[in-house]
Amino acid sequence: MDELDRRLINRLQLGLPLVPQPWQVLAEELGSSSQQLRERLQRLLDDGTLTRFGPMFDIERLGGAFTLAALTVPEARFEAVAAELAAMPEVAHNYRREHPFNMWFVLGCASLEHLDQTLQRIQQRTGLTPLNLPKEETYHVGLYFPV
């Protein structure tokens, strides 16, 4: 990762400009070309430096539902259960925690009914009972990790 990669990552954390040619604006800001920036972003995604690049939606304002959930997964099954969840389109991401509930994941669904069905499907597929932790309050935190 070079200095331009770092500057690109830092800038993208602030969002894309809401203009017809956002990559051109970024290129001007960063002293590069829009093509070079897009290629660098793709390389950072391909090599695993970045795991995701995309918009953040308020799924509830769009009529959907989401929740944070957790499972207690036996260590011998952890990778298999993680792969099972990762293959589900409703699962935004899952991760390991050092806790009796050692697998945490976020579900995003088209409705509360679909969310409930997805939790039931996870239980049926894994034999494990998900802990459902729906949000009670919304907090907007400006998260920024300078690289």
pLDDT digits (tens, 9 = 90+) for 45-64: 999 999 888 887 777 888 88
| % pLDDT > 70, the chain | 100
pLDDT of residue 6: 97
Domain regions of the chain by residue span: 3-46, 65-133
43: confidence class by pLDDT, cuts 50, 70, 90: very high
| Full strand arrangement of the beta sheet holding 65-71 | 91-96, 103-109, 65-71, 131-133
Q: What does pTM read for this prediction?
A: 0.66
Q: Which CATH architecture has domain 65-133?
A: 2-Layer Sandwich (3.30)
Residue 83 confidence (pLDDT) above 80: yes
CA distance to 27, 37, 69, 105, per residue, from 34 (Å): 5, 5, 39, 34
